[in-house]
A and B are shown apart, each in its own frame.
Chain A
Amino acid sequence: MSIQVENLVKTFGDYTAVDNLSFSIDKPGVFALLGTNGAGKTTAIRMLLGMLTKNSGTALWDGKPMESLTTQIGYLAEERGLYPKIDVIDQLLYFAQLKGLSTAQAKERIDFWFGRLNIEEHKNKKASQLSKGNQQKVQLVVALLADPKLLILDEPLSGLDPVNADQFRAVIKEEIAKDKYIIMSSHQMATIEEFCDDLVILDKGKSILKGNLNEIKKGYGRINLSIKCDEDITGLIMQSGLTILNKTPAQTMVRVKDESQAKSLLKKIVDNDLSLVKYELREPSLHEIFVEKVGESIES
């Protein structure tokens, strides 16, 4: 099974919201759909789900149009979307039946997921009586009720406290272990790095970077050096012709061209008999890659 998205375009009048977006997901796992605010992520998701008609392009799941297979797709929207004055259980049964589940199947799965997420006591409450975090849990249950093959999660951890966020992470990991395909959109890069294998970054509707995250990072090489000494080494760094990216009391982040530059700085620290506290050479984080790429896009 695979997901093939090719040259997806969506325009609203003269405005192009999505401009020739293409990507593919060939194996189960997490695919990240990233972008700045207004980059076209939600529009792209809505086209995949068939909620918006495409101007051109295709989105295929195993060779079939995705919008025809919505019963196999679970969607967790970024914003809360529940009927405020209707009992949670009634809403869930309704959404489950729309996905093709029988009442008995729906009840069984609701019981399971409510137990799993520790929200059994909220079943007969109105949605407006629940906290934001619990509403998000209910919506996650809606997305998972039909045991979909594809999950689309838009900012899944947004607004959650650390305990609930960990619960969500655990559920996502379980779904990954079940060989599900997951498309995740988030501004929390740490979350994306935790889960995703492949990604695409959008800016103003266009794709500015895509591929496997590890490969992208390797492509940059280990060029981010985190270093700290008891003494101030700013002068030493400047003498070496290196660029300071960020300086905090905990560390100084330095951009090096390659490992030899980093080693050269280390030698100078040792030669000067300075007290070395931290020395870490690593690839850039997704956050750093994102900021750099979007920055380049803005400048161009």
Chain B
Amino acid sequence: MKYLWKRSVSQLNLKGTGKVFKFTLTQQLKSRTFRITTVVILIMTILIASAVNIIPALISNDDDNEVTTLGDIDVKEVYVLNESDLDIDIVSALSAEMPSANVAKLEKTEESIIEELEETTENKILIKLSKDETGYSILSIKPPNITVDEDDLILYYTKSVVESGRLLSAGVNADDVEMLLSSISAESITAGEEVKGLAEVLTEIYVPMISGLVLFLLIYLYGYWVATSIVAEKSSRVMELLLTSVKPLAVVLGKLIAMGTLALTQFTLLLLSAGISYKISGGFADSMAGESYNPLDLSTLTNAFTPLNIIVVLIIFILGYVLYAEMNAIAGATISSAEDMQMAVMRVNLSAVVGFYLSYFSPAVDNEMLNTIVALCPISSPFALPTMIIMDKISIGMAFASILILVVTIVIVLLFAARIYSSIVLHTGNRLRIKDLFSIYKQK
């Protein structure tokens, strides 16, 4: 096996690839840019994955607090005046909600309490329930000289008490009152669709968007770094020195594999950190959550991460990276100074951005034709396909066809690069355009 490998390497003239790989990997690991981006990506991943559990728990906590009791409030005295025909015990109901306040039925006249409120510097209010031709009304009267912050909340609770009270006084039993007063949700769906909860919306729309973005960043950035590495070596003339020891294809292959290894490592770290932080934050969420806590059911997503699916996702990631790295390597070799970099990689940039946007918006649009194009087109499939496979949004046949198209595209670009690379890698002067590259290819 070792003999066959050595023979293949010598025929392809790839001697030195391993050393280029090792050096590129080491230098990149030492670079500040790599360390900072790794840390930033991991922090963002941990925060996002944890937020999926923590935010609903915090919301449930607030909801419970909001529903059950106000707790300590600044208002110390609440006077209740019931001038309606409803026989409801507003005093007891408000007392239960505001244990720190003294809630009492108004014994004085309305005029005298209003006079008192006008002059007082204490935190007290009057709640008056009345009825007129239009219906029931609740008035909150507070002193002018001090700020009463909770009057809106007190009004809110009073209103719920009155709503329950009038149903009870109409003869509705208590259980029915609770049912009648529960909130009503309303939404519109297309025939054949199912109602989607928050978990489903997250899973079907936002997860593909976020994963597409992450894949785009990793695949594109590392491919771009291959180009910048090549340009740096050309502009500093190191490339001449390298080519006295190794062939151009060995140089580019070593760099490609090194950057790809780093990309794959970051991607794997990202997946692991997302999974671990989701698990750990789930435990925290359970401990801090209120009674009404309903954890998001992402089991559809988490169960989809089978070992086979993970392997397929990693393979697609590698293929996507290889395609963009190859194109960037060719682009980098067409120039000899860093100033021309943006022009050189413009077409590769454009392909990547178009591919990304197609994969980003297709889950929201959810159009079958668009999804097919996104899945099969080699510039977009690396960003969209992994999520489509995880979410089981693509048939096995289509996935296979997509991967095949990606592989064929990679091979075509590789053969093109292999033929022209030795001619362009030492090129200096004006940037080589695509027609120049095809001209060199034909000459070869």
Contacts and interface: CB of A to CB of B under 8 A. Distances in A.
Interface string A48-88: 01111100000000000000001101010101111110100
B303 interface: no
A267 interface: no
Nearest to A55: B443
Interface stretch (B62-70, B236-244, B267-275): B236-244
Contacts of A142: 241
Contact of A51 (B233, B236, B240): B240
Nearest to B31: A85
Contacts of A97: 19, 23
B14 to A, nearest CB: 13
A168 interface: no
Contacts of A70: 244-245
B16 interface: yes
A46 interface: yes
B414 interface: no
A73 B244 CA distance: 8
A70 B242 CA distance: 11
Of listed B236, B241, B246, residue having the most chain A CB within 10 A: B241
B422 interface: yes
A117 B156 CA distance: 88
A75 B423 contact: no
Interface of B is mostly: helix
Given A46-B426, A51-B426, A95-B241, A81 B246 contact: no
Contacts of A83: 232-233, 236, 238
Contacts of B247: 50
A94 B23 contact: yes
A163 to B, nearest CB: 25
A204 to B, nearest CB: 19
Nearest to B427: A12
A97 B26 CA distance: 14
A137 interface: no
A71 B245 contact: yes
A49 B239 CA distance: 13
A81 B240 CA distance: 7
A98 interface: yes
Nearest to A91: B238
Nearest to A79: B237
Contacts of A79: 237, 240
A139 B242 CA distance: 12
A105 to B, nearest CB: 14
Given A51-B426, A86-B27, A98 B245 contact: yes
Contacts of B238: 81-83
Interface residues of A, number: 26
Nearest to A152: B244
Given A81-B241, A83-B236, A94 B422 contact: no
A98 B16 contact: yes
Contacts of A49: 243-244
A129 B243 CA distance: 25
Contact of B426 (A52, A73, A86): A52
A118 to B, nearest CB: 22
Contacts of A71: 245
Interface string A172-187: 0000000000000000
A139 B25 CA distance: 23
B240 A98 contact: no
Interface string B239-279: 11111111100000000000000000000000000000000
A140 to B, nearest CB: 12
Nearest to A93: B23
Contacts of A139: 241
A52 B423 CA distance: 7
A41 interface: no
B237 A80 contact: yes
A65 B308 CA distance: 49
A206 interface: no
B245 A99 contact: yes
Contacts of B23: 94, 97
Interface in B43-101: none
A97 B242 CA distance: 11
Given A52-B426, A82-B236, A83-B236, A98 B19 contact: yes
B19 A94 contact: yes
Contacts of B423: 53
B243 A51 contact: yes
A53 to B, nearest CB: 6
Contacts of A80: 236-237
Nearest to B247: A50
A71 B245 CA distance: 6
Given A46-B426, A53-B422, A98-B19, A84 B244 contact: no
Given A53-B422, A86-B27, A95-B245, A77 B19 contact: no
Given A53-B422, A53-B423, A75 B244 contact: yes
9 contacts: A46-B426, A50-B243, A71-B245, A73-B244, A75-B241, A77-B240, A81-B241, A97-B23, A99-B245
Going nearest first, the 3 A-B pairs with the smallest beta carbon separation are A81-B237, A98-B245, A51-B243
Given A52-B422, A94-B19, A142-B241, 16 more contacts: A46-B426, A49-B244, A51-B244, A52-B426, A70-B244, A70-B245, A75-B244, A77-B240, A80-B236, A81-B236, A81-B239, A82-B238, A94-B23, A98-B16, A98-B246, A99-B245
